[in-house]
Copies of this chain bind each other. A is one copy, B any other.
Amino acid sequence: MSELRQDPTTKEWVIMAPERGKRPQQTLGKRITDQILEWDASCPFCPRNEAQTPAELFRIPTASHNSDWQIRVIPNRFAALSPEGSTARRESGYFARSMDGFGVHEVIIESHLHNATLPLMPYEQVENVLIAYQQRYNSLKMNRQLKFITIFKNHGRESGTTMAHPHSQLVATPIITPYYHKRFDVAHDYHADMGTCLYCDIIQEEMEKGERIVAVTDEFIVFQPFASRMPWETWIVPKRHRASFGLLPAINLPELAKVLKHVLLCLYHELDSPAYNLMIDTTTTEDEEDPYYHWHIRIMPRQSMIAGFEIGSGIYITSALPEETAGRMRQCIG
């Protein structure tokens, strides 16, 4: 018998149906994995092709050569949003409300190597990626028109990426995103009832139970949530209450880099280099000090497609129990 589980952070239900993992898959097209080289002449993110990208916003140079770089952040050349334009609403009919595509869309190039990948990078390079995330976050939050900043990574074809070169993205919007709205409302109601942070209390309960815990370090807890939306979904949550990723002290970044690399490396081994999405889930730029929300990282391996039922209903069906997959992650991380 499968189980319906309620996500305590959204009040949405998930269907946990481990039996579905056993169903046959008819041949619908196979995937070819191309061999990827260290440098690709046609890749605009590769060294020596810097002129193909818009002007750089941030760089971490290599220690030895200042002209070389370890990280670059650039505006997305095919940006979904752009910093020109206004946030005024327009109405071209009662049911046609729109505004300019105002916002920011950046690319964080995670390595000069075309074939690098976060789980196999040195700790220091993963830390560089996090430094770039935070630097751009804190720089953009100064613009009061940008209400919300989403940092995310798509890795592998099934994740939605179109570029092989390792990169993350940042999108800053003049609107607060609907999923955040929902999570915030739930956390706010909880705080009104209990006077405490929902996420602080969830990690305390998870620590007491232990079965979904993957790792615990000085500052972070890694676990797989009770109502995971996807198999092997893994969260990295700071122990200390902070609503905003922007406020994480720089001194914690080396530890976070180590935790993140270990989590991604275990997923890499357990799932044979899976496609995945990574998201920094954080509060709005205006409420960085709020007592309700609690920033964290979500990693969603894309083992199955998002299909008609999920799109139409908003209910996810997953075929793996977090208690089982968390146990395997625990063994891997050791």
Contacts and interface: CB of A to CB of B under 8 A. Distances in A.
Contact of A101 (B1, B162, B164, B171): B1
Given A98-B3, A307-B159, A20 B80 contact: yes
Interface string A147-163: 01010111011111111
A164 B28 contact: yes
A97 interface: yes
Nearest to A31: B29
Nearest to A203: B95
B28 A157 contact: yes
A38 interface: no
**Chain copies in the assembly?**
2
A121 interface: no
A281 to B, nearest CB: 7
A312 B1 contact: no
A75 to B, nearest CB: 13
A66 interface: no
A1 B278 contact: no
A6 interface: yes
A323 B95 CA distance: 15
A175 B20 contact: no
A28 B201 CA distance: 41
B305 A159 contact: yes
Nearest to A43: B26
A30 interface: yes
